[in-house]
Structure formats: C-alpha cells, structure tokens
Amino acid sequence: MHLPLPFPFPDVPGRAPLAASPRLPLPLPLAWPGLGPARGGPRGTAVIPAATMPALQILQSKQASRHEQRAKQMLSGISLNNEDLVKDKLLIDCGEDQDCVIDGIVALGKFDALHIGHRELAMYASKAGTPFLLSFVGIAEVLGWEYRPPIVAQCDRKRVLTSWAPYCKNVVPIEYQVEFSKVRYLTPRQFVERLSRDLKIQGVVAGENYRFGYRASGDAAELVKLCEEFGLSAFIVRSVMDTARSYNGVTTSVNSSDKGQVSSSRVRHALAMGDMEYVSELLGRKHRLVLTVKENHLQERKRIMLPKSCMLNMPPADGLYENCDLVNGGHLGLCRVIINSETIEIEMKDENSLLPNTIQENQQLGIEFG
C-alpha cells in the first residue's frame, strides 16, 4: 500500500521544491492510539483508516500496559550494567524530579537548525501524544570538535518552536536538553531504559538515520526493538528530502552522512554561501540573526554599526543583503544589511525608524533575512 503525504511543502517559484521523501510502502499492520481495533493485530492496537494514514512507517510496541511491562523487566532482571552511568539526572532544565516529559512522546535528535525535517518529527510526535524535543547538547566540547556558532540563537529557540504549533495540532512542542557527556557511554539498551524508567515517557519519534548509544552503535531498527522491550511506542519517520540540493553549488553530498536529506549541515552550507532564499526553504522560515547591543556600537539617524562579536548565532556570508527586517520584540522596519570581516552595518529604509533611545545597550536585536 502506498500512502500520500499528509500535506505538501509549498513550491517556491523558480526552484525545485523541497518535499518529503517519496510515498512509502508500509508492509506492517499500522497502529495508532485512539482508533478502532486492527484486524489481525494484537489486542489493544488500532488501525489508521487508509485515507488518513501519514507518510510514516510506524513500528509500534506490544500493547501491554506499562505496569505489566515494568513488572516483566524486574522479573527478567533487566538492569543497567554500570551504576556510575545512571547517577546524574538526564534532563538539564527539568529539576530534581525529572517529571517534565512524563507520558509524553519525545522526538530525539540534536535539533541545531530547527529545520523542516526537525519540524516533521515534532509534527508526528503531536499525532501520537504530547510532543517534546529531547536535544543533545555539548557534543562538540566532549568530542573535541571546533567551535561553531549555533544556527538558532539559544534565546530564540522558543520563538521558533512556537511557530510550529499549526503543524502540531496547535500545541507548542517543548524542548528539554540532555548533556551529551551524561549519555555518551550508555549502551543503546541503557539509554532506552533510562528514557522508560527515569523519564517515564510513552514513546519516541526519530528519523530513519537516527543513531544512538555508545559510539552510535544503535540504529532506528534497534531503537524500535528496545522500545518494544521496555513498553514504549517507537515511530520512525522518513527523511525530508532536499530536491534543490544541486542548486547554486550545493552538491549531492555536503558530508559523509548526507544522502540528500534536509539537514543542519545543508543549512550551514547555504548560510556560508549567502543564499538566503535557499536557507529559508530549508528552515521553513526566514533566518534570524540575533545580536546583543554593546557599548561600542555606532548609531546614527538611520544606521547602526556593531562589531561581529555581538552576534549570538551564525550569520550569512559577508556581503550586502537587501529587504531584511529589523526586530526587537516588535518590528522596527525594513533595512539593508552589510556584513564584513569585522562589523555588521544596518541601514534602515525609513529615516524615522531609529528615534533617539530606540536602541539601548544590552538590548537584543534580530535581523530577518528576506
């Protein structure tokens, strides 16, 4: 059976559109909470009517109750092998009880760019329950990678997630962070056990290329198997493909793991080329560069100049950018932006946009690139 996409991504005139991957054959009986019983499936499962099935291969766990599953785990002696790995709390920003995602559906990933592929994971999490993002942070520091500024400023992530609500049944996905150093040495089994035992979630959503566990030893198939063992649902989502990948020098592959899917690496590549139209397609929104105004900024009647050190996230390539928007909570006006090796210059279209004291020291400004 081939299933249609739940909705198409909008085409962009003059460019090959971004689209989810081709329609998927789904060889297994599909289950989804809240629908009628599936013919021939285990008791408690439900089948999605063909007209409303999403383009998603759902590999769902056995439908025994969570309490029964936990009892079976205790009787079978399933436990973590190394107690030193389970002393720390998993979620950085959740508190001692770690009860922030109880009974939720968590999407797993790094979520650096919050691009349309990440939005797809959140969308399917919202179909199964209360959606959360579980973001792994501190990977570069642990593995000794060279520092790279984030694609989305930390202070701007909540705004982006709020914009996803129309795709997530009018629910804003909430993001919680996991310090990579706390899970780096966990085996795939230990990691899933911690999700089940410590966070008490209902299920997970992950992309088809998701890897987890020590040295990325677990893949999507193992995630499904382990979730079944621990009484969790597992939803594996096919990648959103970038059909414009050969445009303007972005070749078929931007790194060794690139198979043509929308990725944070592609967003960085497009930003480095200064192709803001392409960046907007990958993100599903305009890229916002966030700056903190410092005392050494220069402000004139319609012009602001700041050092590059003010930037809180990745800028586009040096150059001139027309038809940008300057925001500071509200919309300040249209502007053109000049980025060079040391400074960023903002020139307003309207001479009255920057009245005296409009821009204050330590204030945050945002530039949205058209």
Q: Tokens 């009245």 appear where? A: 355
306 pLDDT more than 70: yes
How would you classify the pairing of strands 298-299 and 288-292? unpaired
More confident residue, 46 or 345: 345
**Lowest mean pLDDT, pick from 105-114, 139-148, 151-160, 273-282:** 139-148
**Lowest mean pLDDT, pick from 11-25, 196-210, 255-269, 310-324:** 11-25
CA distance 219 to 197: 21
What's residue 342's pLDDT?
A: 95
Residue 42 near residue 62 (C-beta atoms within 8 A): yes
CATH architecture of 55-237: 3-Layer(aba) Sandwich (3.40)
338 pLDDT more than 50: yes
Report residue 82 as tokens.
């190394």
Q: Using 50, 70 and 90 to split pLDDT, how confident is the model at 214?
A: very high
CATH architecture of 288-368: Beta Barrel (2.40)
267-300: buried (b, 16+ CB within 10 Å) or exposed (e) per residue? Answer: bbbbbebbbbebbbbbbbbebbbbbbbeeebebe
- Edge-to-edge strand ranges of the sheet holding 131-137: 57-59, 233-237, 203-207, 105-109, 131-137, 174-179
CA distance 346 to 205: 41
More confident residue, 160 or 32: 160
- Alpha carbon distances (Å) from 165 to 56, 177, 244: 20, 20, 26
What's residue 356's pLDDT?
A: 61
CA distance 136 to 205: 15
**Chain segment 61-103, per-residue pLDDT in tens:** 433 344 444 434 433 334 444 555 445 788 988 888 889 999 9
Domain assignments of the chain as residue spans, ordered by start: 55-237, 288-368
The pTM (predicted TM-score) of the whole model is 0.75
Q: Using 50, 70 and 90 to split pLDDT, how confident is the model at 253?
A: low
- Where are the alpha helices (H) located in the chain, listed in sequence order? 66-76, 116-128, 139-143, 157-163, 180-183, 188-197, 220-229, 264-273, 276-283
Residue 147 near residue 140 (C-beta atoms within 8 A): yes
- Calculated CA dihedral for residues 185, 213, 99, 31, nearest 10 degrees: -170
* 310: Cα separation from own chain's centroid: 25
End-to-end CA distance of the chain: 41
What's residue 30's pLDDT?
A: 35
- DSSP 8-state symbol, 214: G
CA-closest candidate to residue 284, choices 20, 47, 31: 20
Half-sphere exposure of 345 (CA within 13 A, CB side): 11
Q: Who contacts 161 (Cβ-Cβ below 8 Å, separation ≥6)?
A: 114, 122, 133, 172, 173, 174, 175
CA distance 278 to 176: 29
